[in-house]
């Protein structure tokens, strides 16, 4: 049954990818310059080696098929560039071998990689296309929170991963230990061979469920975030330009669909721990009833066992809540992340559609945000993002309407169920004006006034939520083209 389910998912995944690829096709226009196209035509093969075991980012399944977020990016890029048989997917043993082959020119390109000083000596990197936080996972009985609680403890990191280098360089007080992959590290922590592991939350959830490691919990963030990029050999500068152009040509809507597909792919099978333990509890209760027939002594012993089982269930619930919160909350702003806000959107939208009620959505983008990062640094950029989200959240709370979530680096969505276009436009203008008036401290005695461009779309007739979101996205870009710091309203339905 499980194999059949995987087969169905794989086929649906291929259909999904085909649809979003066709949706993003640029009507036959070549995004490359003649020089870049000539260089590409002259290459007999481009050897691409992904990280072999890094779900859901990229991995090889049981049939040795390349899958994951990066795999879907590669398939779209392959279609854009018409690579055909030129692109060779190389499956290597582990990430260490991928790096070694990159140094020796045994391969030409990597998939999801963090840019480091050492790697930059022989590889060059695109801009990031995936960002993932690294969290600290320990056994349930571990006391303490955060990285400070691990002083002198045995902390596992994944060999050749930038997160492990981060541990070694920034926390020499820890007893850092390298392991070949995250699955081995999680098992070591679960079985007591190590005290903690630093790993990305998405992969951790995948392997915790796969291996039934129910005695683990999250105690905080590690301070490291993966900014994953494509990497190409440093003597192939044209390929770097080609890959960056290809990434830039993938639309925001396509990216959102890919992320949402892989995050939600196993949602129907996730978080089975509570159900499993409830079955155990029912079985335990039946045992208690049987033991009552054998006397008070047996009943007492059964009661003790039941108490332990109940405690175990409560501990498991706590693990689930921590992991669920991590999976649905944006770590920077504390509001909903992409997965959570889009799930809420689908539910609220369908309800309004079924009941004939209005529904509006706002897409908000911070104006000139790259200039903020370039001038003041990413720490100030993060401060600007938090300040803007706080302003918008406070207004929505006062009005007791809507939900806000972060769906991109500096891009946010506001859902307004039961709100028509006129009222939604008033809300959007209030958000824009309040953001503009909010002083944000950059450095000492220096303040920054941010502005936002807002796209508004309201439900018209019968359309899918993705079509509504796409209209808001186009309206937002119209606001930016018209001079920024303004609200643009979408009045046209999107065909298809």
Q: Domain ends where: 198, 227, 256?
A: 227
Both 360 and 440 in one domain: the answer is yes
Q: What is the mean pLDDT of the chain?
A: 83
Q: Measure Cα distances from 250 to 22, 69, 81, 111 in Å.
A: 11, 13, 12, 16
pLDDT tens digits along 31-65:
899 999 999 999 999 999 999 988 888 999 989 99
Both 468 and 363 in one domain: the answer is yes
Both 445 and 458 in one domain: the answer is yes
So what's the pLDDT on residue 483? 93
Both 20 and 69 in one domain: the answer is yes
Both 242 and 346 in one domain: the answer is no
Q: Is residue 494 part of a domain?
A: no
So what's the pLDDT on residue 269? 39
Mean pLDDT of 69-97: 90
User: Count H helices, E strands: the chain?
Assistant: 16, 19
User: C-alpha 43: how far from its chain's center?
Assistant: 34
Q: Is residue 456 part of a domain?
A: yes
Helix (H) or strand (E) holding 254: helix 252-264
So what's the pLDDT on residue 16? 46
Total-model pTM: 0.47
Domains held by the chain: number = 4
Print the domain residue range for 40: 2-126+230-268
Q: How far apart are CA 275 and CA 220, in angstroms?
A: 26
Q: Is residue 106 part of a domain?
A: yes
Q: What is the CATH number of the domain that holds 19?
A: 3.40.190.10
Which residue has tokens 């939208």? 349
Q: Is residue 496 part of a domain?
A: no
Both 421 and 292 in one domain: the answer is no
Both 121 and 139 in one domain: the answer is no
Say yes or no to pLDDT of 149 above 50.
yes
Say yes or no to pLDDT of 372 above 80.
yes
Both 473 and 342 in one domain: the answer is yes
- Residue 188 and residue 194 in contact, taking contact as beta carbons nearer than 8 Å: yes
Between residues 319 and 285, the one the model is more confident about: 319
Both 409 and 385 in one domain: the answer is yes
Between residues 491 and 385, the one the model is more confident about: 385
């Amino acid at each position: 049954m499980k194999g059949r389910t995987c087969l169905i998912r794989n086929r649906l995944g291929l259909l999904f990818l085909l649809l979003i690829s066709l949706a993003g096709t640029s009507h036959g226009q070549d995004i490359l310059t003649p020089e870049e196209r000539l260089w590409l035509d002259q290459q007999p093969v481009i050897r691409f080696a992904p990280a072999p075991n890094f779900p859901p980012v990229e991995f090889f399944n049981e049939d040795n098929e390349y899958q994951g977020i990066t795999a879907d990016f590669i398939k779209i890029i392959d279609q854009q560039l018409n690579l055909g048989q030129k692109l060779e997917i190389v499956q290597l043993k582990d990430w260490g071998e991928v790096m070694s082959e990159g140094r020796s020119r045994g391969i030409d390109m990597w998939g999801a990689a963090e840019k480091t000083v050492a790697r930059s000596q022989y590889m060059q990197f695109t801009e990031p296309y995936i960002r993932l936080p690294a969290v600290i996972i320990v056994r349930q009985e571990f006391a303490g929170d955060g990285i400070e609680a691990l002083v002198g403890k045995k902390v596992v990191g994944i060999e050749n991963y930038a997160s492990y280098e981060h541990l070694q360089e920034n926390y020499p007080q820890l007893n850092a230990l390298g392991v070949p992959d995250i699955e081995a590290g999680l098992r070591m922590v679960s079985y007591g061979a190590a005290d903690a592991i630093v790993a990305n939350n998405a992969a951790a959830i995948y392997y915790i469920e796969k291996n039934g490691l129910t005695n683990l919990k999250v105690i905080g963030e590690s301070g490291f975030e993966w900014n994953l990029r494509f990497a190409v050999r440093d003597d192939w500068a044209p390929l770097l330009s080609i890959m960056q152009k290809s990434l830039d040509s993938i639309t925001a809507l396509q990216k959102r669909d890919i992320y949402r597909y892989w995050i939600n792919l196993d949602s129907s099978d996730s978080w089975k721990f509570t159900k499993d333990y409830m079955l155990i509890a029912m079985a335990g209760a039946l045992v208690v009833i049987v033991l009552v027939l054998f006397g008070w002594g047996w009943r007492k012993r059964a009661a003790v066992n039941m108490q332990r089982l109940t405690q175990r269930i409560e501990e498991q619930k706590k693990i689930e809540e921590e992991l669920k919160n991590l999976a649905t909350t944006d770590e920077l702003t504390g509001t909903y992340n992409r997965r959570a806000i889009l799930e809420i959107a689908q539910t609220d939208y369908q309800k309004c559609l079924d009941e004939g009620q209005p529904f509006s959505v706002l897409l908000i983008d911070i104006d000139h945000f790259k200039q903020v990062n370039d001038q003041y640094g990413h720490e100030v950029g993060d401060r600007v993002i938090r300040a803007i989200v706080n302003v918008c959240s406070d207004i929505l709370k006062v009005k007791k309407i809507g939900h806000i979530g972060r769906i991109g680096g500096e891009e946010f969505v506001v859902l307004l169920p039961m709100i028509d276009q006129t009222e939604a436009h008033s809300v959007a203008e209030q958000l824009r004006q309040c953001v503009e008036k909010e002083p944000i401290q950059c450095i000492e005695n220096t303040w920054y006034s941010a502005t936002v461009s807002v796209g508004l779309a309201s439900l018209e007739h019968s359309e899918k939520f993705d079509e509504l979101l796409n209209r808001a996205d186009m309206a937002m870009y119209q606001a930016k083209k018209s001079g920024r710091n303004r609200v643009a309203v979408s009045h046209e339905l999107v065909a298809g």
